[in-house]
Chain A
Amino acid sequence: MSDEPRQEEQVEVEEAPPEAPPAEAEAQAVEQDIGELEETARERDEYLALAQRTQADFENYRKRVARDAAAAESRGTARLAKEILPALDNLARALDADTLDPEGLSLVRSEFTAALERLGIEEFSPEGERFDPNLHEAMAQQPVDGAEPGTVVEVYQRGYRLDGNVLRPARVVVAQ
């Protein structure tokens, strides 16, 4: 492709002389060049202005998105808090009671998990399952009689999923 323009130039040079005297042709060519330059300069300014506008729009958009994200985060926190606070209230009631009531406490616990479930957070406890580092974090490995190596023999801490993604892996002991 790079050859073609050169050929065209040659053609122009060859054809130019018969049409006009050299000096006049040159003046014409220069004038034309200046016109083109001016046009190019105008275009350049236009494009620069356009690029600057687009960039500024983008930066302002980004600022708005950052603001929106902060607001969304705060709404999310508020939503979580609203779900959890009633359970916290009942925990306080349980503690205010004269005697420790395991049944009441276990109700409070289900209230917490139910609140979390409403937000898409589900609990899992993988005892007996095959150890999977995608879902579990191994805290220790122990030889356990009757347990197949590589299975979870104890769950120290339950795991949680949010919308299917691991929010926190279950902390487990794995059979050796």
Chain B
Amino acid sequence: MGKTIGIDLGTTNSCMAVLEGGEPTVIENAEGGRTTPSVVAFTESGERLVGTVAKRQAVTNPTNTVFSIKRFMGRKEAEVKEEESIVPYTVVAGPNGDARVEAGGKQYSPPEISAMILQKLKTDAEAYLGESVDSAVITVPAYFNDDQRQATKDAGKVAGLDVKRIINEPTAASLAYGLDKEDDQTILVFDLGGGTFDVSVLEIGDGVFEVKSTSGDNHLGGDNFDKAIVDWLVAEFKRSQGIDLAADKMALQRLYEAAEKAKIELSTTQETQINLPFITADASGPKHLDTRLTRAKMTELTGDLLKRVENPVRQALEDAKDKGVADVDHVVLVGGMTRMPAVQERVKELTGKEPHRGVNPDEVVAVGAAIQAGVLAGDVKDVLLLDVTPLTLGIETKGGVMTKLIERNTTIPTRKSEVFSTAEDNQPSVEIHVLQGEREMAGYNKSLGKFQLTGIPPAPRGIPQIEVGFDIDANGILNVTAKDLGTGKEQKIEIKAGSGLSEDEIKSMVSDAESHADDDRRQRELAEARNEAENAAYQAERQLADLGDSVDSDSKERIEAAIKEVREVLESEDAAEIKVRTEALQTAFHAVSQAMYERAQAEQADSPNGAAEAASESEEDEEEVVDAEVVDEGKS
């Protein structure tokens, strides 16, 4: 069985998404776009083009390029006279009075044209997913009547899709924000798209959405806002340069692009520079457009348009109230234009509620449709909705450092293990101190518990391999085991879920770590530099002893001096100096070993501290040292 995808079949653009492993993903089309223009064209040579490619050739082929087909879906020709006068292609009445499009020398019903768009989406989705797509959930405006819904369903069928359900766009948008889990709530969905504006008031109870009222403006959208900015740019340029850019198609195109870019940029900044060099030329030479647009100016320019959203919102709220709907609890924004801060403010003023954020407003309807598709296909199961660990988990290692095993925000259940070793020669036991928190140093984190693994046979430090494993089950219960890989001896501890941390405590631990990040990093670097220095001195000493008389006395003295230098700064706070001296020691030793063992050169250079080989089977390929001695027993 193939996949079920969610499709937002829009008036100007369409978008599709799929639920993968419980997470909605927007599917890119073959051209790499996340939305596809709802445009179909029939070329002279009889070819059929859909999407971006159809849009690109529109000016060469206006009467055979069909856009805004959604406006004709399920409508009688007599009802759509106004729309007919706007589009450049011919609309005629079919045998039963239905609106039909005449293009490419043939008549097509609106569902047939929509099917061509759906067909492309289906093909592109199959290419993206690498498997067949045989069914879909398709969205329609809440105000669509039965005929219009049926027409949409027919379009799906013609495209070879089993339409599992037709759902309302505002419902899909609410689903994308998980509002189906709410009970007895009122939701206002504000949808300002490319060319249409819809407001819907929904009520949710028992997981069922009911549309209480709808309102809107069929010819208001982002295009109008772009035009307002372009008109201003044209007027400004005419005033300063005396040239009318509106007459120059290429200049106008560049202005539209610049206006759209400015509009998007002004969603996050207060001011933007519009810079269009060589926009035109006259007898005196090339002319450049270079102007500044502030957010306040844009709000002023689009004031009339912003006003036009007010009445439909009021109307929808009033109509809903007449049906006994209480005040609005949630506001959901749909459509690219809702990124504009002035639009958001207007919505907030009108509804008194802060809108939901987080899902891309161009994609939110398709995402909701994909979630619905997932529910219908049985993909969404509560038992597989998993938690994440709110804070990082790890153990204390030499020098009071917290070594992280499971990072925060890891989905559970999960397990992770790493191999550690001892810090001293003949160390008989290691203490595993389990920590939770984001700070680099163990002492600043929360201690969850500690235990000893004893009975480690005498061995030089760095040789025993102690595997420490963390396992968190689906209920958040943490099991920590420590196993001596040499003897097979094992010890463990179980730590109950949550460990009593409240949401606020978690937040404060995370923000604490952020505010101390620099200090912590310094401390950790110092601890690590000390560890490495100490280790280098130890290894050098041991190897000197091992090599015995095969080292000439000069070299021996040099290395011993270097070891002494390292040990002198071990307790200092100067990580840089510690590192310098450690390197000096390593270089000195390296020179000696190189002279002595030409053949073993590579090996020696790679592991100046020798013991790395013993631990090289560890997952991290990096030696870590658990030091029982350093841990402060008095601390809890």
A: which residues have CB within 8 A of B? Answer: 48-49, 51-53, 55-60, 62-63, 131, 133-134, 136-141, 150, 156-157, 165-166, 169, 171, 174
Interface presence of B413 (CB below 8 A): yes
Q: Which residues of B have CB within 8 Å of A48?
A: 383
Cβ B474 vs Cβ A52 within 8 A: yes
Contacts A62-B21, A165-B32, A174-B60; is A139 near B253 (CB within 8 Å)? yes
Mark contacts of B51-62 with chain A using CB atoms, 8 A cut-off: 1 yes-contact digit, 0 otherwise. Answer: 001101111100
A119 to B23, CA, bound (A): 33
Cβ B384 vs Cβ A51 within 8 A: yes
Contacts A59-B21, A62-B23; is A49 near B59 (CB within 8 Å)? no
Cβ A52 vs Cβ B386 within 8 A: yes
Known pairs A59-B386, A150-B44; list 13 more (Cβ under 8 Å).
A48-B383, A49-B413, A51-B383, A51-B384, A52-B413, A52-B474, A63-B410, A133-B53, A134-B53, A139-B249, A139-B250, A139-B253, A174-B59
A174 to B60, CA, bound (A): 7
Chain B facing A: main interface SS: mixed
A-B contact pairs, 29 of them (CB 8 A): A51-B383, A51-B384, A52-B383, A52-B386, A53-B414, A55-B22, A56-B411, A56-B412, A56-B413, A56-B474, A59-B21, A59-B22, A59-B23, A62-B21, A62-B23, A131-B57, A133-B49, A138-B56, A138-B57, A138-B60, A140-B250, A150-B44, A150-B60, A156-B250, A165-B32, A166-B31, A171-B253, A174-B59, A174-B60
Q: Which residues of B have CB within 8 Å of A131?
A: 57, 60
Cβ B386 vs Cβ A56 within 8 A: yes
A137 to B59, CA, bound (A): 9
Cβ A55 vs Cβ B384 within 8 A: yes
Interface presence of B409 (CB below 8 A): yes
Cβ B384 vs Cβ A137 within 8 A: no
A38 to B249, CA, bound (A): 77
Interface residue from B53, B249, B413 paired with A140 (Cβ < 8 Å): B249
Cβ A139 vs Cβ B414 within 8 A: no
Cβ A55 vs Cβ B21 within 8 A: yes
How many interface residues does B have (CB within 8 Å)?
29
Would you give the shortest CB distance from B481 to chain A, in whole angstroms? 17
A62 to B25, CA, bound (A): 12
Would you give the shortest CB distance from A77 to chain B, in whole angstroms? 17
Q: Which residues of A have CB within 8 Å of B41?
A: 133
A139 to B249, CA, bound (A): 7
Chain A facing B: main interface SS: mixed
A59 to B53, CA, bound (A): 36
Q: Which of B354-400 contact A (CB under 8 A)?
A: 383-384, 386
Would you give the shortest CB distance from B125 to chain A, in whole angstroms? 19
Contacts A52-B474, A56-B413, A63-B409; is A171 near B250 (CB within 8 Å)? yes
Contacts A49-B413, A52-B383; is A139 near B59 (CB within 8 Å)? yes
A167 closest partner in B (C-beta): B32
Q: Which residues of A have CB within 8 Å of B59?
A: 138-141, 174
Cβ B386 vs Cβ A55 within 8 A: yes
Q: Which residues of B have CB within 8 Å of A49?
A: 413, 473-474
B250 closest partner in A (C-beta): A156
Q: Which residues of A have CB within 8 Å of B410?
A: 60, 63
Would you give the shortest CB distance from A121 to chain B, in whole angstroms? 15
A141 to B60, CA, bound (A): 6
A57 to B412, CA, bound (A): 8
Cβ B414 vs Cβ A133 within 8 A: no
A136 to B60, CA, bound (A): 12
Cβ A56 vs Cβ B414 within 8 A: yes
Contacts A48-B383, A55-B384, A56-B386; is A63 near B411 (CB within 8 Å)? yes
Would you give the shortest CB distance from B383 to chain A, in whole angstroms? 6
Q: Which of B38-93 contact A (CB under 8 A)?
A: 41, 44, 49, 53-54, 56-60
A157 closest partner in B (C-beta): B250
Would you give the shortest CB distance from A82 to chain B, in whole angstroms? 24
Mark contacts of B20-37 with chain A using CB atoms, 8 A cut-off: 1 yes-contact digit, 0 otherwise. Answer: 011100000001100000
Cβ B383 vs Cβ A133 within 8 A: no
Would you give the shortest CB distance from B386 to chain A, in whole angstroms? 5
B415 closest partner in A (C-beta): A53
Contacts A52-B386, A59-B386; is A133 near B411 (CB within 8 Å)? no
Q: Which residues of A have CB within 8 Å of B249?
A: 139-140
Cβ B474 vs Cβ A136 within 8 A: no
Q: Which of B215-255 contact A (CB under 8 A)?
A: 249-250, 253
Q: Which residues of B have CB within 8 Å of A156?
A: 250
Q: Which residues of B have CB within 8 Å of A174?
A: 59-60
Q: Which residues of A have CB within 8 Å of B253?
A: 139, 171
B385 closest partner in A (C-beta): A55
Would you give the shortest CB distance from B237 to chain A, in whole angstroms? 18
Q: Which 6 A-B pairs have the closest CB atoms?
A: A133-B57, A59-B411, A137-B56, A133-B56, A56-B411, A156-B250
A169 closest partner in B (C-beta): B56
A30 to B392, CA, bound (A): 49
Cβ B58 vs Cβ A52 within 8 A: no
Q: Which residues of A have CB within 8 Å of B49?
A: 133
Q: Which residues of A have CB within 8 Å of B54?
A: 133
Cβ B250 vs Cβ A58 within 8 A: no
Q: Which residues of B have CB within 8 Å of A58?
A: 21
Would you give the shortest CB distance from B213 to chain A, in whole angstroms? 39
Would you give the shortest CB distance from B248 to chain A, in whole angstroms? 10
Contacts A52-B384, A55-B21; is A60 near B414 (CB within 8 Å)? yes
A150 to B21, CA, bound (A): 48
Would you give the shortest CB distance from B475 to chain A, in whole angstroms? 10
Q: Which residues of A have CB within 8 Å of B23?
A: 59, 62
A56 to B409, CA, bound (A): 11
Most chain A beta carbons < 10 A, residue from B60, B412, B473, B474: B60
Would you give the shortest CB distance from B88 to chain A, in whole angstroms? 13
Most chain A beta carbons < 10 A, residue from B41, B56, B386, B474: B56
Mark contacts of B544-582 with chain A using CB atoms, 8 A cut-off: 1 yes-contact digit, 0 otherwise. Answer: 000000000000000000000000000000000000000
